[in-house]
A = this chain, B = another copy of it.
Amino acid sequence: MTASRKQLAANAWGSVLQVRAALVPVFDRELQVAARLPLSWYDVLLELSAAPGERLKMTELSERVVLSRTRVSRVVDELAAAGLVGREQNDADKRSAFAILTPLGREAFEKAAPFYLSSIESGFAGPLSDDELRAIADVLGRVLAGLPNGPVRRPSAGLARPAHSRSRR
């Protein structure tokens, strides 16, 4: 049974859907148990940690996080209420404001990250070799690069390096 191009494509796409559907709820729970953070919070903290000055405009944030602009507004509200991020005026353009990581937020993220990374290893990466992981990131990265919106690359989704080490674009 030689699979047609369409079948190959559909199988690959289907596997992406299934893996994410199976794993997201698991990771979310594990994170909540281990670090009291919902995945959506973690994602925002991660992106802020990785950003220069630990701050991003809302639009930038929603480009990086896998969340809509609207949703980001709400999540940042929640995070601000919890004291994990703050909002700061953008003097150059008063329409936009920065979301900025607080010390508490940094601490929360740094505590949570190892748990999340360990979830990824045990639920996802476990049975895969380094080369296979590289291949996935590479191949799916090319898919993203080909999309209208341009490549919205994330920092490793795990531990952020110190802010100044990232430049991008």
Q: Which A positions have Cβ atoms within 8 angstroms of B?
A: 3, 5-24, 66, 117, 120-121, 123-128, 130, 132-137, 139-147, 149, 152, 154, 156-159
Contact = CB atoms under 8 A, between A and B. Distances in A.
11 contacts: A5-B130, A7-B156, A9-B117, A9-B128, A12-B125, A13-B124, A15-B136, A17-B20, A17-B157, A18-B140, A23-B143
A125 B15 CA distance: 13
A11 B123 contact: no
Given A12-B124, A13-B125, A21-B66, 9 more contacts: A6-B121, A7-B156, A9-B117, A11-B157, A13-B157, A17-B157, A18-B66, A22-B152, A135-B139
Contact of A128 (B14, B143, B159): B143
B128 A147 contact: no
B11 A144 contact: no
Given A21-B66, A144-B18, A149-B22, A10 B117 contact: yes
Given A18-B66, A139-B132, A157-B14, A9 B144 contact: no
- In the A-B complex, the 9 residue pairs with the smallest Cβ-Cβ separation, listed nearest first, are A10-B158, A14-B157, A9-B125, A15-B140, A10-B157, A8-B133, A12-B136, A11-B137, A21-B66
A57 B24 CA distance: 25
Nearest to A159: B6
Contacts of A16: 16, 19-20, 136, 140
